[in-house]
Structure 1
Amino acid sequence: MTWDLSCPDWRERIRSGRSLMPSLPDLNVERGELAVKIFDRLRIPDVVGTPLLADAAGEWFREIVFALHGSFDPETRQRMIRELFLLVPKKNAKTTLGAGLMLTSVLINDRPRAEFLDVAPTKEIAQLAFDQSAGMIDLDKGLRRRFHIQEHKKTITYLPTKATLQIKTFSPDVMTGVKPSGILVDEEHVIAEKSDASRVMGQIRGGMISQPEAFLLTITTQSEKPPRGVFKADLMQARSIRDGLVQGHTLPIIYEFPEDIQKPSTLPGEPAAWEDPACWHMVLPNAGRSITVERLKQDYAKAKADSLEELNRWASQHLNVEIGLALRNDRWAGADYWAQQADPDLTVDEIITRSDVIVAGIDGGGLDDLLSLTILGRDSVTSEWLQWSKSWVMEGVLQLRKREASQLEDFGKQGDLVIVTEPGMDVEHLSDTLGGVNKSGKLAMVGLDPQGVGLIVDALAERGIDGPRVVGVAQGWTLSGAIKTAERKLADGSLLHCGQPIMAWAVSNAKVEARGNAIIITKQAAGYLKIDPLMSLLNAVVLMSKNPQAKTTMSSFMRRGILSA
């Protein structure tokens, strides 16, 4: 049987400062209360006065301790809450409270030689977790007698049961073969940037199967970049369980603003709703203890005065605001307007139906680049520009570009990126896509970087797209006009796109450089980050700026079905 762990009224609860813990059935009250009693008696070792957790932790975390341990049935040895996903901003004592919870779990455990793990993304965070756990033991005479601390091994052994609490840095080597009774993963959003994160998290979950009482506790803040990889997958799963869309064994405790507060401002320079300190209490469960709103106001003012990039980073870490576009000081100006111009209902078929003329832009270099296609249509009634894209990448790039591998895999799952295994498959897929658009009779031109595109030109010719309709688009400073045109049309609302994450990623990767009176966006400036989808858009903008004409003379109103023939 699976418990209902949903909390569909979380928006009302978080606005009013109420608990986010759902109503849980059949809890083992005695075991839960014992766990809270043990937890409360632990002391924080690195704070003046070494206060008890009973005073330093809010009721919100005691509820977590109670639920996690109270969901365990000593007779069947089944734990109904197998995983707990906690998203909470920095400075809410998550590492300290997590250390206290894991120490409590070791003390309440009755399995001989049980293995408990505290996993952190870096050595520094792992050391902090170890110091907290070891410090809590040192401050209690009774605990000092019952525990053996091995500093060099980052291992704490509970002598009565020989159970161990080990602090480890996240890596495949240390996770292979583990069969933990309990494991805490700290800062999963950082871990997700590792190329092997999904595989290692799979090893962790696989190791839990043989022990029905095992639990996985994930404690993390929001990501400084758009969520990716295993962190994004776990966050989306936790949200789905919270909202009652799916059932699962994960208890979701997510401190994030409701959508109307979370969303960015629609006007550059205008503060977003989350910038109002009056709403910050919603996502600060430990406010008044480890953090205060007044202190955050000072940090906010400093971040806002620094740059938009720093403000976004600060908001993601201290208020759990999810980053849509990672905006930097040297960003492309169009990035400020990109999110507001998304129309998720826009598809390539919709563009074909609505447009009187269509152009396409292609960008792609060697086998370590993305091959990207943009379809850009002109609405036959409003003259708005309508954009859709697709990209292809060789499978080997995921090994070559390990920093971005999890991000590319996400785009693949979303259907906006195709991972191909053989050279030439990407060109065939792209050409087939354009061949389908060409059958509409509305494809006027295809623009592409003239360097090294022989295979693409030949493949397009096989599908009837050749001659003057295939146009070379000069790159570098000559794209300055297209860059400015695109950003102006985004700003005035006359360029719409279908809200694809891969395009938002490419837009946020773009760096602008001044060259005389021109501005350029180059792959060299972007570094290891990819901008190919954006470059394909700019190539299409060059062609649409030439005002191509429809090949038919049918009334635009008739094409849209507004008038009959």
Structure 2
Amino acid sequence: MLSTEALPRFACPDWWERIQAGQIPMADVPLNAAKAAKALAFFNRLRLPDVTGNPPMSEACGEWFKDILVAFLASEDPVTKRRLVWELLCMVPKKNSKTTYVAALGLTALFMEEAPNRQMLLVAPSQNISERCFEQAQGMIRLDKKLDAIFKVQDHLKCITRRKTGTKLDVKTFDTTIVTGEIPILTIIDELHELGKKAKAAAVMQQIRGGGITMQGGQVLMITTQSDEPPAGIWRTELKKARAIRDGVGGPNPILLPVLYEYPQGLQRDQDYWRDVDHWAPLLPNLGRSIDPQRLAEDYQNNGKVNEEAEQIWASQHLNIEIGVGLGADGWRGADFWEAAGDPTLTLESLLQRCEVVTMGADGGGLDDLLGLAVIGRDRVTREWLSWCHAFADPKVLERRKEIASVLRDFETERSLTIGDGAKRHAGFVALVRQVKASGLLPQKDAVGVDPNNAAAVFEALAEGGIEPAQIRRLMQGPALAPAMYGLELKLDDGTFWHAEQLLMAWVMGNAKVEPRGNHLMITKQISGRAKIDPLIALFEAAILMSWNPQGTLDISDFLKNAVMA
């Protein structure tokens, strides 16, 4: 744990202890006391429009969100008197009144802003959510005649204007044109994780953040549940950044304040732990307010446990369990150990330098699938297995499978995926095969495993890359790959298998599902259509061939001679 004497800004190393104690998992932030009191006084008078009796926020809102409110709107460096919190990311489970609270925060910010004719945005990922946000804000105003005199509400535009200043709060549904004209001085984004599924979300976020470097400044508040799929796109980026800042490794002067209600990763992987209802309360700050604990438990028993997929989605939304590596009882057991076996220094080049022999696997289907290429090498010193993978995708996948388009773009940025037309994919595949072939490490026989179904283009590319017919081994998918599935589980568990720590493969692991077929087990897709496991099948094919203890064609004496000359 970090020393409390030299913590970077916004670091909160005791976040889990705070959650367990019923406290907000947020670093202590210095405040402008007068501004904080003014913001809190206004916020507290707002009334809930959709609850019997219309209770005020002073009674209805949990203290956790009031802490967020004042930290976001009233932070101040005690020496320079400058704002400290320019951005805030709050991840809190479903039904903790996120949408209602951010609508109230938006009104409070609009009331606090004295600059004239500015723009504020409250952005939701769908029309239903944006309408819900606006209805809550509109309802709060119309319950209080004094507020009706302060704010002008335009229902048809979903716009609220402070009459005194002319500054507007626009409630909008996310699209690539939401930011037009003036850069907003404040943007609130509800359900950020949904933007991870939208194309060009990162570009829009960059445009929104452009206001932060101007003299007037621009704040961004993001509030969300965990994603019901493995984190992707802008959501994965922001979550990773927030966790790094929280853990004290996000740099010395971050501007984003993280507030993440989640279990430590070890407990997220411990399904017995999070399935125990007695362990839920710390993650639900509004328990007893907007959440009925008995109804929540009943919902889990009656709806959340219908099947494995339903449970994963329920747990992601109500307990912020991250879907991905190691989550899901019917996932491949090797995925439980995958993350720990990552070697970030491993590349194709370093693998070829370190190994005495390599095998490859290739797998792909139609234009909706990925073409996966896997390389496994045996370290010439330790005899441990090292792996590196790459995938290829047709641009049509981005259109036909929009729900994974942003994920695939992440892999393209990582350079573990090539997106291109047939000629580009063919050329890229051939280039990698030639690189491996030129190393002299492929065995003369059974060097490349290929599923022969729909693989004509793969065979052509292998031939163009210099692979001889005797070096190709046809390996059918299904039970025939079970030895690789079991073998890699053991090698991952005992620490004799290492991989190149690619986001591509972490995602693929989350998609893999184990199904019984007769007396055997086989790997299939977790969710039809959007899930892709082709690179994993390629890895299994390479593993089958490596398990046969092959010998490379490069003479060891030639290697030693080249090493001495180098």
Quickly name the TM-score band, shorter chain normalised: 0.7 to 0.9
Deviation at 1:531, TM superposition (A): 2.8
Partners of 2:492 and 2:121 in 1: how far apart?
54
Partner secondary structure for residue 117 of structure 2:
coil
**Structure 1 residues 441 and 511: CA distance shift in structure 2, 3 A:** closer
Distance 1:341 1:197, change over 3 A: closer
Read off the aligned partner of 1:43 and give its amino acid letter.
R
Q: Which residue, 343, 346, 350 being the options, matches 1:345?
A: 343
Does the 8 A contact of 1:78 with 1:212 survive in 2? no
| Cα deviation digits, residues 349-378 of structure 1 (max 9, x gap) | 887799776421112456765332122457
2:468 aligned residue: 466
CA drift at 1:483:
4.0
Q: Distance in 2 between matches of 1:54 and 1:147?
A: 21
- Give a deviation string over 1:512-545, Cα, whole Å, max 9, x none: 8999999887899942543321231343355457
2-structure distance, mates of 1:138, 1:227: 38
Cα distance in 1 for partners of 2:262, 2:380 equals 42
What is the Cα deviation at residue 468 of structure 1? 0.6
Match of 2:188 in 1: 184
Q: Deviations over 1:168-200 (max 9, x none)?
A: 000012223342121110001112101121111
**Per-residue displacement from partner, 1:242-264 (whole Å, max 9, x unpaired)?**
222113111111111123322x1
1:300 aligns with 2:300: yes
* Residues 1:14 and 2:29 aligned together: no
Question: 1:124-273 to 2 correspondence within 5 Å?
Answer: 124-210=128-214, 212-245=216-249, 246=251, 247-262=253-268, 264-265=269-270, 271-273=271-273
TM-score, length-scaled by structure 1: 0.83
Over 3 Å counting, the alpha-carbon distance change for 1:344 and 1:512 in structure 2 is closer
Distance 2:373 2:445 in 1: 14
Counterparts of 1:122 and 1:373 in 2: how far apart (Å)?
A: 37
Distance in 2 between the 1:20 and 1:513 partners? 39
Aligned to 1:505: 507
> 2-side partners of 1:185 and 1:77: how far apart?
27
Partner of 2:564: none
Give, in whole Å, the separation in 1 of the partners of 2:415 and 2:445. Answer: 23
Deviation at 1:381, TM superposition (A): 11
CA distance in 2, matches of 1:311, 1:437: 47
Question: How many residues get paired?
Answer: 536
**1:127 to 1:531, Cα distance in 2 relative to 1, 3 A:** same
Q: Distance in 2 between matches of 1:106 and 1:524?
A: 45
- Residue by residue, what CA displacement relative to the aligned partner does 1:112-134 show, whole Å, maximum 9, x if unpaired? 12222110000000010011000
1:47 aligns with 2:51: yes
In 1: Cα distance, 2:178 partner to 2:389 partner: 41
Aligned residue for 1:540? 542
Q: SS in structure 2 opposite 1:479?
A: coil
Is 1:23 aligned to residue 21 of structure 2?
A: no
Change (3 A) 1:515 1:90: closer
CA distance in 2, matches of 1:351, 1:303: 47
Point out where structure 2 has 5 or more consecutive residues left out of the alignment: 1-6, 561-566
SS at match of 1:502: helix
- Return the alpha-carbon distance in structure 1 between the equivalents of residues 398 and 472 of structure 2: 31
Residue identity opposite 1:412 in structure 2: E
Unaligned runs of 5+ in 1: 266-270, 560-565
Q: How much has 1:276 moved relative to structure 2? A: 2.4
Give the Cα separation in 2 of the matches to 1:69 and 1:3.
Answer: 21
Question: Is this contact kept in 1: 2:351–2:377, CA < 8 A?
Answer: yes
Deviation at 1:503, TM superposition (A): 2.6
State the secondary structure of the residue aligned to 2:258: strand
Report the Cα distance in structure 2 between the residues aligned to 1:77 and 1:551, rounded to whole angstroms: 67
- Which range moved further: 491-500 or 442-451? 491-500
**Could you say what secondary structure the match of 1:295 adopts?**
helix
Q: TM-score, normalised by structure 2?
A: 0.83
**Given the alignment of the two structures, is residue 485 of structure 1 paired with residue 483 of structure 2, yes or no?**
yes
1:79 corresponding residue in structure 2: 83
1:268 aligns with: none
Letter in 1 for 2:343: D
State how 1:384-423 maps to structure 2 within 5 Å: 387-393=387-393, 398=398, 401-419=401-419, 423=424
8 Å Cα contact 1:359-1:376 kept in structure 2? yes
Which secondary structure state, in structure 2, belongs to the residue aligned with residue 482 of structure 1?
helix
Q: In the alignment, is the contact (CA less than 8 A) between 1:179 and 1:210 conserved in 2? A: no
Q: Which residue of 2 aligns with 1:562?
A: none
Pairwise CA distance, 1:415:
4.2
- Paired with 1:457 and 1:227, the residues of 2 have a C-alpha distance of 34
Indicate which of 109, 113, 133 corresponds to 1:109: 113
Relative to structure 1, the CA distance from residue 186 to residue 300 in structure 2 (aligned partners, 3 Å threshold; closer, same or farther) is same
- 8 A Cα contact 2:122 2:188, kept in partner: yes
Q: 1:396 to 1:480 in 2, by over 3 A?
A: closer
Cα deviation code 1:45-100 (max 9, x no counterpart): 11111111111111111111112221269xx9953311111111111111111011
* Cα gap change, 1:66 to 1:518, in 2 (>3 Å): closer
Cα distance in 2, alignment partners of residues 341 and 204 from structure 1 = 36
Query: How far apart are the structure 2 equivalents of 1:42 and 1:524?
Result: 45
The aligned residue for residue 563 of structure 1 is none
- Give the residue type in structure 1 aligned to 2:256: T
Inter-partner Cα distance in structure 2 for 1:416 and 1:444: 25
Please say if residues 104 and 137 of structure 2, whose CA atoms lie closer than 8 Å, have aligned partners that are also in contact.
yes
Q: CA deviation at 1:411?
A: 2.0
Query: What's 2:458 paired with?
Result: 453
Q: Does 1:335 align with 2:332?
A: yes
**SS of equivalent to 1:192:** helix
In 2, Cα distance between equivalents of 1:187 and 1:112? 29
Structure 1 residue 234, shift from structure 2 partner? 0.9
Amino acid at match of 1:535: I
Letter in 1 for 2:416: D
Cα root mean square deviation, aligned: 3.8
- Partner of residue 283, structure 1: 283
Do 2:357 and 2:442's aligned partners in 1 also have CA atoms closer than 8 Å? Answer: no
Q: Is the 8 A contact 1:72 1:213 kept in 2?
A: no
2: CA distance, partners of 1:187 / 1:66: 21
Shift of 1:502: 1.9
SS of equivalent residue, structure 2 residue 305: helix
Partners of 1:101 and 1:199 in 2: CA distance: 25
Report the more deviating stretch, 523-532 or 97-106.
523-532
Moved more, 226-235 or 6-15: 6-15
**In structure 1, C-alpha distance between the alignment counterparts of 2:488 and 2:362, rounded to whole Å:** 20
| Counterpart secondary structure, 1:200 | helix
- In 1, Cα distance between the equivalents of 2:175 and 2:248? 33
